[in-house]
Amino acid sequence: MTGQQSNEKNLEVELSLANFKLEILQDITLLLTESLDPRQTLDFIMDRIFALVEMEAASVLVFDESREQLEFICVRGGKEDELMGFKMDATLGIAGKALAAGEPVLLEDASDDPDFFRELDSIFGYKTKTLIAVPLKIAGRTLGVLEGVNIATDEVKSSEGLIELFECLASLISMTLITARLMKQIGVENIDL
């Protein structure tokens, strides 16, 4: 195989992967408009996140302004039962850093960052290496954080694409959270988020 053939094959693989990711994002967007169940939508997004990014775990943390806490409301990839409902000070960790800054944070080695909340790893018996935290924002408000943990090295190396993908997913999750809040305000029963 010549160098040009190898490059063409690589481009073919990249295009195929991009199309696959686009199809998943389209499926998520369609569900946003079709489902009146925000929990179903959030679960659908989180279940598909692993088809988009090779990683060990992902979680959604919502910000409770009155208590200044972040709460794990959706967890995938292990430790779900232990982490669901866990609350932490909103100023702690990389999630707290992303929340405060309103900007994504991507760490190739979490242990090198002084803001990394090591206690969470020790409480739940986890070993975080790579980490991405992206704020969940809508209309200028930050609702929480989407995190991805122990992302594959090749994914981290293409950091711009990884951040863009997480920001897209964070936007979809933000819309889901706002939908849930609006549904509660208008009196729709059985909204569980």
DSSP, residue by residue, 50-106 = HHHS-EEEEEEEEEETTTTEEEEEEEESS-HHHHTT-EEETTSHHHHHHHHHTS-EE
Q: What does the pLDDT read at residue 192?
A: 64
Q: 169 with 45: CB under 8 angstroms?
A: yes
* Burial tier of 175 (Cβ tally within 10 Å: 0-12, 13-18, 19+): middle
The per-residue pLDDT for 18 is 81
Which CATH number is 140's domain given? 3.30.450.40
> Residue 192: inside a domain, yes or no?
no
Question: Residue 171: in which H helix or E strand, if any?
Answer: helix 159-185
Q: Round the CA-based radius of gyration of the chain to a whole number and report it.
A: 18
Residue 137: per-residue pLDDT: 96
pLDDT for position 78: 80
Which residues constitute the domain of residue 32?
A: 3-185
Question: Is the pTM here over 0.95, yes or no?
Answer: no
Residue-level pLDDT at 61: 97
Residue 58 domain-assigned (yes or no): yes
> Could you read off the pLDDT tens digit of each residue along the chain, which spans 193 residues?
677 877 887 788 778 778 888 888 888 888 877 887 888 999 999 988 888 889 999 999 999 999 999 999 999 998 888 999 999 999 999 999 999 999 999 999 999 999 999 999 998 888 999 999 999 999 989 999 999 999 998 877 778 889 999 999 999 999 999 988 887 888 776 666 6
Does 191 fall in a domain?
no
What pLDDT is stored for residue 190 in this prediction?
60
Report the pLDDT value the prediction gives residue 191, as an integer from 0 to 100.
Answer: 60
Residue 39 belongs to some domain of the structure: yes
Please name the helix (run of DSSP H) or strand (run of DSSP E) that holds residue 18, with its range, or none.
Answer: helix 3-34
Domain presence at residue 190: no
> How buried is 60 (Cβ within 10 angstroms: 0-12 exposed, 13-18 middle, 19+ buried)?
buried
How many Å apart are CA 33 and CA 101, to the nearest integer? 30
**What are the residues whose beta carbons fall under 8 Å from the beta carbon of 117, sequence distance 6 or more?**
88, 92, 93, 94, 95, 96
Whether 47 maps to a domain, the answer reads: yes
Q: List the Cα angle 49/52/57 in 5-degree steps.
A: 45
Backbone angles phi, psi at 61, to 5 degrees: -115, 130
77 within 8 A of 48, measured Cβ to Cβ: no
Query: Which pLDDT belongs to residue 51?
Result: 84
Q: Is residue 170 part of a domain?
A: yes
Q: How many domains does the chain have?
A: 1
pLDDT at residue 76 in the model: 94
In a domain, 87, yes or no: yes
